[in-house]
Amino acid sequence: MEQGNVVDQLYFVCHGVLEGVSIVKDGSEETMTLLEPNSSFRDISIACNIPQPYIVRVCELCRLIRIDKQSFSNILEIYFHDGRRILSNLLQHLAASRGYEDITSFLMQEGVDINALDKFGNTPVLEAIKSGHDRVASLLVKEGGGFVKHRKCW
């Protein structure tokens, strides 16, 4: 699956390992993520209609589940409340990692969870810092954003 393509399908890894590799400007490769069982890819691309940020290559024999964009939209429509929360949290991470201060501010005003963890366990603050967007990170920290989401043990 090529970097830069707009996608219309979402994938879930059931078995095996894939890697997400980004081709940088000098032509070299940088491993972005390992996709292991219970992970998904193309989710940001399909939800936000943006190009695939990295190439996906198989490391070992895999079994995947594929969902087309229309079916994904139908699922989000059926489970509207959960779908809205998923998309809001996804947009918060995307805005933070891309340095979009105005979008980050808007999403915080709309009440999104600024400490929501993505599938890699990262918060929006950590995404902003990793991407070098100090102003967005400061904005999130000022509003209570942290590096780790605290969970209560029962």
- pLDDT class for 152, splitting at 50, 70, 90? very low
Range of the domain at 31: 9-70
| pTM (2 d.p.) | 0.53
Q: Rounded CA gap, 72 and 68, in Å?
A: 6
pLDDT of residue 58: 92
Which of the listed residues 36, 51, 70 is the one where a domain comes to its end?
70
pLDDT of residue 101: 81
Q: Which residue has the higher pLDDT, 150 or 1?
A: 1
Distance, in Å, from the CA atom of 102 to the CA atom of 106, rounded to the nearest integer, reads: 6
The model's pLDDT over 113-132, given as tens digits with 9 standing for 90+, comes to 888 887 777 888 888 888 88
Per the structure, how many domains does the chain have? Answer: 2
Q: What letter would DSSP give residue 81? A: H
What span, in angstroms and rounded, lies between the C-alpha atoms of 43 and 35?
A: 13
How many Cβ atoms from other residues are within 10 Å of residue 18's Cβ? 21
Same domain, 114 and 61: no
Render pLDDT for 85-102 as a digit per residue (tens, 0 to 9): 776 676 676 677 777 787
How far apart are the C-alpha atoms of 8 and 77, rounded to whole Å?
17
- Give the separation between CA 147 and CA 58, rounded to whole angstroms: 31
CATH of the domain at 134: 1.25.40.20
pLDDT tens, residue by residue, 18-66: 998 888 888 888 888 888 887 788 777 777 777 777 888 999 999 998 8
What is the structure's pLDDT at 154?
33
Instruction: Tell me how many degrees the CA angle 79-40-56 measures, rounded to the nearest 5.
Output: 145
Question: Domain boundary at 25, 48, 70, which?
Answer: 70
